[in-house]
Amino acid sequence: MAQTSELALATSRNCMSCHAVDRKVLGPAFKDVAARYKDDKGAPDALAAKIMKGGSGVWGPVPMPANNQVSDAEAKRLAAWVLSIK
């Protein structure tokens, strides 16, 4: 399940406004993101970049906005956490 410090970080950086660990909200469930990228060795860096810069088209028509308040280190930490969710 979610580690307390990572969940707190995700909440403080507004990730939980559009995502949940185990269900789709506006964006995909984090467990679904982890499942999609489980065998992708480049996923940690790609997801960290997407967390910071945003993106669109991967999970449907709703774009993910850029998160300018997230540092590079925080984005890497969040990406690693999301990818660890089962």
**pTM for this one?**
0.92
- The three-state secondary structure class of 19 is strand
Query: What is the domain-level CATH number for residue 40?
Result: 1.10.760.10
- Under DSSP, the state recorded for 59 is S
Question: Which residue range forms the structural domain that includes residue 41?
Answer: 4-84
Q: What per-residue confidence (pLDDT) applies to 38?
A: 95
Q: What per-residue confidence (pLDDT) applies to 4?
A: 80
DSSP H or E stretch at residue 17? none
- pLDDT tens, per residue, the chain with 86 residues: 456 899 999 999 999 999 999 999 999 999 999 999 999 999 999 999 999 999 998 899 999 999 999 999 999 999 999 999 99
Query: How many domains are there within the chain?
Result: 1
Q: What per-residue confidence (pLDDT) applies to 2?
A: 56
Residue whose token pair is 């909200």: 25
